[in-house]
Structure 1
């Protein structure tokens, strides 16, 4: 055997060994986790729950950062300009990343985003201040019918899960209400507590965090949420409405297939931690597992659903 052949084989073996070691070593340094909303919202709460589990499992730090604005679009439009080495990941939300580009130019297209995992879902809910005149959903519906346009709802972002919920509510109930978008769940909830709006289209998680400061009138789920056993679903009250927000993680499109899979596996391992799952459930989150390998089919299903919703909202594809 020629010496050159032997050397070539040795070099290849060393290279494959290094690649394997590199894969096993991930993550070998801190991972920056960019949240596209304000601190205090569901995306932030989820990241803070993931953070200690990640650090326990990997021995590395997870650095949570915020790049809020435009209902998440400020961050998503910048994602692909970041390093695709697996050490910068970004939270993504549905229906936001499908609905926003449909409605207008937001600096990114849905297909620009490389989602590698969706890990939970939160049902929409209507919340009001604890001292609100609205004791039940029917109280609010009656007022809205008698006062078209006067009921104001805060929500996180435009063409977001909250916005879709408000538009769906108006259509099903036969009322006209006013939706006021905020940069995230936290400021939208603050608007409710400060009586800047009459009610909020929020999530079950936000209601849990506010404890006795708010009253939940209805939840957009198929069944009652364990955290709010006494709160009816919209369906129970005669409105065929169930929906909410999905949250996941994306990487820059320059990330290799190996990196995409590594990040997906990393989030999946966090999602498999029993204590983490219980904390998520206690916080009002519904844990789901959509890894990178199932992403194309999942996004296709969601896109078909949201395109129909967009038509109902009068949104034409941009």
Structure 2
């Protein structure tokens, strides 16, 4: 049997690269009409190829059709678990021409562990799109077939097995922290600047286990995918991967997901924020988006910005409890 590549992701990355390298217009006047006055920058806090990058490139293409005349430019600014991008987004003029992706838990958890260059009070959530279960993923040829296999080997070789993540304080890292506490094990944490790099490290066997979200693996539609998940950290199995058990089913009380959505500087006019939110809502309601999301393996979970923000204090409290019990560090 042969492996069939996922054409959706490949075409999307090519299209997104073309958008990102398109020449920018001349500097716009202060009162440039939104959304056509100049290109709208979408700041991505992680390297190309990961779940956040792929989602936002797809969204940009669909939003262009919902906002006639709008021209979106992808700007990848990876680093510090998303902090670099969040700081840039906060510093941007609140005119609607700079928006960006935000990811929980990192957006909420990184400020718990250290001082950061952004303030959540100065950023405004526009919409949540995805809630993607975190997972432990291994190379197809890995000797680990189950989480129990991994735990048994980790207890034989404490501090020798490497687990990659998208950065300190991200969902992958927090999931690893919870797993170590639940099992009494110790792993080597290997942070990268995005899920695409983690995935490449797993494919090249530079790490033993990859902390990825189920939607980032790229295994649907393939007869023999190069990577395979041991288990996912969602409350329930994902309907697109019903064969993948949860950590709880395997006997480990570990629950962690990655929410991904759009935000803008807090001072963005309400009219622009609402137009963006409504445009995103129209996109996610389209059958064409549903099919694209399936191709890109995006676990959709749309929420308007205000509803998403209303959930964040409880999420932050949970991450603070994790920090107090089992501080996550490099």
TM-score, normalised relative to structure 1: 0.85
Shift in Å, 1:185: 0.3
- CA offsets 1:46-85 (integer angstroms, 9 cap, x no match): 0122122112222333222211111211111122221211
Q: Which one has a larger percent helix, Structure 1 or Structure 2?
A: 1
Identify which of 300, 304, 307 aligns with 1:294: 307
Shift of 1:307: 1.9
> 2:60 maps to what in 1?
51
- Tell me the SS of whatever aligns to 1:91: strand
What residue number does 2:21 align with? none
Match in the other structure for 2:218: 208
Correspondence for 2:4: none
Determine if contact 2:89/2:265 at 8 Å carries over to the other structure. Answer: yes
Do the aligned residues in 2 keep the contact of 1:156 with 1:163 (CA within 8 Å)? yes
TM-score (norm 2): 0.82
Q: Which residue does 1:218 correspond to in 2?
A: 231
CA shift in 2, pair 1:312/1:266, >3 Å: farther
Residues 196 and 63 of structure 1: CA distance in aligned 2, closer, same or farther (over 3 Å): same
- Out of 179, 196, 216, the position equivalent to 1:186 is 196
Give the root-mean-square deviation of aligned CA atoms.
2.1
Residues 244-266 of structure 1, C-alpha deviations (whole Å, 9 max, x = no match): 11011111233123332232222
Mapped contact 1:128–1:217 kept (Cα < 8 A)? yes
Q: Distance in 2 between matches of 1:80 and 1:27?
A: 19
Please list, as runs of the form range in 1=range in 2, the aligned pairs for 1:275-314 lying within 5 A after superposition: 275-314=288-327
Paired positions, count? 293
Residue in 2 aligned with 1:78? 88
Contact 2:177 2:328 in 1 (8 A): no
Q: Which whole-Å CA distance do the structure 1 matches of 2:243 and 2:305 have between them? A: 37
Residue of 156, 170, 195 corresponding to 2:180: 170
Structure with higher Rg: it is 1
2:36 to 28, 36, 39: 28
> Do the aligned partners of residues 202 and 106 (structure 1) sit closer, same or farther apart at CA in structure 2, a change above 3 Å counting?
same
- Aligned partner of 2:7 in structure 1 is none
Partner residue in 1 for 2:161: 151
Distance (Å, rounded) in 2 between the aligned partners of 1:296 and 1:270: 21
- Deviations along 1:82-135, one digit per CA (max 9) or x if unpaired, are 121112101111011111111112212333322221111110111111111112
Residue 159 of structure 2 aligns to a residue whose secondary structure is coil
Unaligned ranges ≥5, structure 1: 1-21
Q: Secondary structure at the match of 2:101?
A: strand
Q: Distance in 2 between matches of 1:291 and 1:236?
A: 31
The answer to whether the 8 Å contact 1:68/1:75 transfers is yes
Following superposition, the deviation at residue 209 of structure 1 comes to 5.1
